[in-house]
């Protein structure tokens, strides 16, 4: 008999019929002899409606108190746990619901994006011992003083993984609307294959490169506490992708996947002095404008003068330009700024590349043969990322996916 934590997202519990489907799935797992804790999110659309209500009572231009925002948002998951437990009980199962607070999920006091500080799963164990299926509210917890908190984006995944760690579950299953993690986005590369397994680090690099299966935060937590989890679909019974610590055998695969991110833009500052403090004088104002920067590339300078390029989301390009205009003159005579939209990022990810030479060379040659011009290059230990013209990203992805033999991968 295994102890299994399952997590169902907002789409999976989006209406009464879907809740009944999840209830059936949970009961099947229980009937197979397992002890089950199922973490559920708010029904799709509910959180947005609550946010809308909050903005209507607070009025134009005012932010709702964050403490109260958490009290409000927590009702979304509380509604789902009650409905899911009811559905199971109505079908002859035996389920009880627990809010985050009731399940002993203690967080810090940073409302709307709290961090889990501690889990005291006594109630969870007690209800499991009595033969119950436990339906647990994702996304929420309480402070040591009893205030209701929420965990922010990706919070329900985090609840599932943290609870799996706290109760030493044998497996954590993240049910979503995709079948698992793919070698590439199947809408772009039709030959993309679902992966049987992937390491935490690879999934993290895939996520940061646009393959948004899960928030990085939950994957990092799973890595830290060694929680194996499976990403799988709530719409069918196909096996998903197992995410786990890396093993020797994983290294024999050089590249695990290709991920792509569209709607990028690039800013290049040319002719800046290669002096200490230059970078902070550029990126300070951009950060202050709340613009998130992705890639940063600076080449070595030969003449004491260098160029610095960075990428941002296309939507943030105007904000970044506006933030930089006032500081250009301070950066030196002849400093110019060039902004360019219409670019996209392509990344290849794999722990195997650490022990295989020539991955970068093969990628660049592939792109060259495909007639794709590389604009910027940035690498980490297990990732190579390049930017290309947005209208060439599909050609680039298909070529690289093929060149690294991903289409032929088993699983």
Binding segment toward a copy of itself, per CB under 8 A, in 19-27, 173-181, 362-370, 395-403? 19-27
Q: Is 44 in the site for a copy of itself (CB under 8 A)?
A: no
Q: Is 89 in the site for a copy of itself (CB under 8 A)?
A: yes
CB of 79 to a copy of itself, least distance (A): 5
Sign of the alpha-carbon dihedral angle for 76, 77, 78, 82: positive
* Cβ atoms of 250 and 238 closer than 8 Å: no
Distance of CA 200 to the CA centre of its chain: 12
d(CA 374, CA 396): 10
Query: Which residue lies nearer to a copy of itself by CB, 102 or 215?
Result: 102
Angle separating helix axes 216-225 and 200-208, nearest 10 degrees: 170
* Cβ atoms of 221 and 161 closer than 8 Å: yes
- Tokens 């040319």 belong to 270
Query: Which residue lies nearer to a copy of itself by CB, 64 or 341?
Result: 64
Q: Is 144 in the site for a copy of itself (CB under 8 A)?
A: no
Q: Is 131 in the site for a copy of itself (CB under 8 A)?
A: no
Burial label for 215, CB within 10 Å (0-12, 13-18, 19+), is middle
Q: Is 146 in the site for a copy of itself (CB under 8 A)?
A: yes
Rg of the chain over Cα atoms, rounded to whole angstroms, equals 24
d(CA 92, CA 209): 44
CB of 136 to a copy of itself, least distance (A): 12
Q: Is 27 in the site for a copy of itself (CB under 8 A)?
A: no
Sign of the alpha-carbon dihedral angle for 396, 399, 403, 406: positive
Q: Is 34 in the site for a copy of itself (CB under 8 A)?
A: no
CB of 395 to a copy of itself, least distance (A): 48
Q: Is 372 in the site for a copy of itself (CB under 8 A)?
A: no
∠ at Cα 206 (198, 169), nearest 5°? 45
Sign of the alpha-carbon dihedral angle for 300, 305, 311, 312: positive
Among the listed residues 3, 44, 51, 86, the single contact to a copy of itself using CB under 8 A = 86
Q: Is 356 in the site for a copy of itself (CB under 8 A)?
A: no
CB of 98 to a copy of itself, least distance (A): 9
Q: Is 11 in the site for a copy of itself (CB under 8 A)?
A: no
Buried b (16+ CB within 10 A) or exposed e, 218-244: bbbbbbeeebbbbbbbbeeeeebbbbb
Among the listed residues 3, 11, 14, 75, the single contact to a copy of itself using CB under 8 A = 75
Among the listed residues 31, 57, 315, 322, the single contact to a copy of itself using CB under 8 A = 57
Q: Is 134 in the site for a copy of itself (CB under 8 A)?
A: no
Query: Which residue lies nearer to a copy of itself by CB, 56 or 330?
Result: 56
Binding segment toward a copy of itself, per CB under 8 A, in 74-82, 194-202, 276-284, 343-351? 74-82
d(CA 13, CA 65): 28
Q: Is 97 in the site for a copy of itself (CB under 8 A)?
A: yes
The DSSP bridge partners found for residue 279 are: none
Alpha helix positions (H), 263-358 = 278-288, 317-324
Q: Is 143 in the site for a copy of itself (CB under 8 A)?
A: no
Which stretches of the chain bind a copy of itself, using CB under 8 A? Answer: 16, 19-20, 23, 50, 53-54, 56-59, 62, 64-65, 67-69, 71-72, 74-75, 78-79, 81-87, 89-90, 96-97, 99, 102, 123, 146, 148
């Amino acid at each position: 008999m295994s102890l299994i934590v399952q997590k169902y997202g907002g789409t999976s519990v989006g209406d009464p019929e879907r809740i009944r489907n999840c209830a059936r799935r949970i009961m099947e797992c229980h009937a197979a002899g397992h002890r089950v804790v199922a973490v559920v999110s708010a029904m799709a659309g509910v959180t947005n409606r609550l946010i809308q209500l909050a903005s209507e009572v607070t009025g134009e231009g005012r932010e709702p108190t964050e403490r109260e925002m958490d009290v409000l948002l927590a009702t979304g998951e509380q509604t789902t746990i009650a409905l899911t437990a009811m559905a199971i009980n109505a079908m002859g199962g035996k389920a009880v619901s627990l809010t985050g607070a009731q399940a002993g999920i203690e967080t810090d006091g940073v409302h709307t994006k709290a961090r889990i500080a501690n889990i005291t799963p006594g109630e969870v164990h007690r209800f499991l011992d009595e033969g119950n299926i436990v339906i647990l509210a994702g996304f929420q917890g309480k402070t040591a003083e009893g205030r209701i908190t929420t965990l922010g984006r990706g919070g329900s995944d985090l609840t599932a993984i943290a609870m799996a760690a706290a109760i030493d579950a044998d497996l954590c299953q993240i049910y979503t609307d995709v079948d698992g993690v793919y070698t590439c986005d199947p809408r772009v590369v039709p030959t993309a294959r679902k992966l049987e397994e992937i390491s935490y680090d690879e999934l993290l690099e895939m996520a940061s490169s646009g393959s948004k299966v899960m928030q990085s935060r939950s994957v990092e937590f799973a890595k830290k506490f060694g929680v194996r989890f499976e990403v799988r679909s709530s719409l069918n019974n196909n096996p998903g992708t197992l995410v786990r610590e890396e093993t020797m055998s994983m290294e024999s695969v050089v590249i695990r996947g290709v991920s792509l991110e569209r709607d990028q833009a690039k800013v290049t500052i040319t002719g800046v002095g290669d002096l200490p403090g230059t970078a902070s004088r550029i990126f300070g104002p951009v950060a202050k404008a709340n613009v998130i920067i992705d890639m940063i590339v600076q080449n070595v300078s030969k003449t004491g003068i260098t160029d610095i390029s960075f990428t941002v989301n296309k939507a943030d390009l105007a904000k970044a330009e506006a933030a930089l205009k006032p500081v250009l003159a301070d950066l030196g005579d002849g400093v110019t700024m060039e902004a360019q939209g219409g670019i996209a990022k392509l990344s290849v990810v794999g722990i195997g590349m650490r022990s295989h030479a020539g991955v970068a060379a093969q990628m660049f040659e592939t792109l060259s043969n495909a007639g794709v011009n590389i604009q910027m290059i940035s690498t980490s230990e297990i990732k190579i990322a390049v930017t290309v013209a947005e209208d060439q990203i599909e050609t680039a992805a298909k070529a690289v996916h093929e060149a690294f033999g991903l289409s032929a991968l088993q699983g």
